[in-house]
Amino acid sequence: MNDSGLTVAIIPARGGSKGVPGKNLRRVGGMPLVERAVRAAAPAVDLVVVSTDDAAIAAVAADAGARVVDRPAELSGDEATSESALLHALDVLEAEGLRVGTVVFVQATSPFIPTEGVAEAVALIEGGTYDSVFSAYETYGFLWRRDAGGRASAVNHDAAHRPRRQDREPHHLETGAFYAFDAIGFRRFRHRFFGLVGIVTVPESTAIEIDDEQQLALAEALASAPAPAPIPAVALVTDFDGVHTDDTATVDEHGNESVRVSREDGMGVARLRRAGVPMLILSTEQNTVVARRAEKLQVPVLHGIDDKAAALAAWAAERGIRLEDIAYVGNDVNDLGPLGLVGWPIAVANAHPQVKAAARVILTRRGGEGAVREVAERMLAARV
C-alpha cells in the first residue's frame, strides 16, 4: 500500500462467452484462465479482485487467493463495458472502507500475462510518471486497410518507400493483457486512457488473446512447449552496441549519436541488480551514450576497450569471480575473445555467424529487442 491507497488488480470475468463457451474457466497449461490471471497479477499488487456473475468462476478465483465481487446482471451482458465492471468493483471495495490508489485492469483472456510487466506498470503509476499505462509490443509491420471496394491503402507507411527494418521507427500494438491507472483519475474520466498515457513494452510472445477455439489451441501449444533452459551463471558481462541496442545509431548535424534501447532490458537489469548479480558493460566504443545508458542502468561500464578479453579477466580477478561462472553476451567478431574465456558464452539472435558458432547459448531475442531481458530471466530462473 502506498500513500494514495491500495494497489488493486481487478479481473472482470463473465460466465457468458459466445466465441469460446466457458472461456474464463478453460485451461491453458493445466490451469483455468482466470486462475492464471490471478496468479500473474498477485505478486505485483496488494489485492486481486475478480468481478464475476458466475459461481464456478468465483470458486476458482477464491481458491487462487482472489477477493470475489459479485457482478450484477445489468453489468454482465454482452453490451456491458469492462469499465463498468471496474467502477462497480471499486464502489464495493470503497463501501467496505478500502481506499484504492492504483488500479490494474487485468484480462483473463490473456494467458501469458508477464508479472514483471504488471509490476513495471504499477511503478510508473505510483511514481507519478504517467496517469495511465497499457501493455504493448513493438512491431515494425507494414499495416494496410481495405476500403469498401476492397482496394488497399497504406496506414503507417509510404507504400512507395520501403526502408529497411533498422531504419524504421517501431509502432506499438496493444496486447489487451493489462492496463494500470490512477484510481481517482479513472473515476473522473470513467475510461482506461486518460491524462498522460504511457506504454509498458512486453514480449510479443505474451500478446496472444483468446477469442476463439483456434487461439485457445495455440495458447495450449505454447504453454506446453519446453521453457528455455536456465543459465546458472553468477555474473553477467555484456557488449553494448548490438546487445543493448539494435546496432544502429542516429547521427545529427553536430555528429551527436543516439541509439535505441529496450525498456524490457532495463527491467531485466534492475531485477538482476536487486538479486545481487555482479554486472559489467564492456564496449569497444568510446561514446558518451554508452556511459549515460550504463549510468541509467546503474551498471559499471568499461568503454573504449581494445582488448575486451583482458579487461574482462582483470574485472573478474578483482572481484574473485571465476571465469567459468560468468555469462558474456555478444553479437560481433570483436566479442570472440571474451566469449572464449567465460563458462557461458551467449549470442543474441541476430549475432554474426562466428559468434553464434562460439556460443553455448543462442538467444531467441535480437540485440536491442529484449536480449538482455531474456538472459536476466534465465539467470534468475537458475537461482530459484
Looking at the 3D structure of the chain, how many domains does it have?
2
Model pTM above 0.75:
no
Domain for residue 226, yes or no?
no
Given this model, what pLDDT does residue 337 score? 96
**CATH number of the domain bearing residue 151:** 3.90.550.10
247 & 173 share domain: no
Domain for residue 97, yes or no?
yes
Given this model, what pLDDT does residue 18 score? 72
Average pLDDT of adjacent 10-residue blocks, the chain of 384 residues: 84 85 90 95 96 96 95 85 95 96 97 94 96 94 93 92 83 96 97 97 91 91 83 96 89 80 91 95 87 93 93 97 96 96 95 94 92 95 82
Residues 381 and 384: their CA atoms lie apart, in Å, by 6
Residues 283 and 305: their CA atoms lie apart, in Å, by 6
Residues 231 and 360: their CA atoms lie apart, in Å, by 10
Domain for residue 1, yes or no?
no
Given this model, what pLDDT does residue 51 score? 97
Q: Which domain range does residue 242 map to? A: 235-382
Given this model, what pLDDT does residue 226 score? 76
Closest CA to 350 of 330, 334, 335: 330
Residues 282 and 280: their CA atoms lie apart, in Å, by 6
The residue out of 189, 221, 253 marking a domain boundary is 221
Given this model, what pLDDT does residue 3 score? 63
158 & 210 share domain: yes
Domain for residue 261, yes or no?
yes
- Other CB atoms within 10 A of residue 160 CB: 6
Domain for residue 229, yes or no?
no
Domain for residue 15, yes or no?
yes
User: Angle at the Cα of 187 (from 181 to 191), degrees rounded to 5?
Assistant: 65
116 & 21 share domain: yes
Given this model, what pLDDT does residue 288 score? 84
Domain for residue 289, yes or no?
yes
363 & 268 share domain: yes
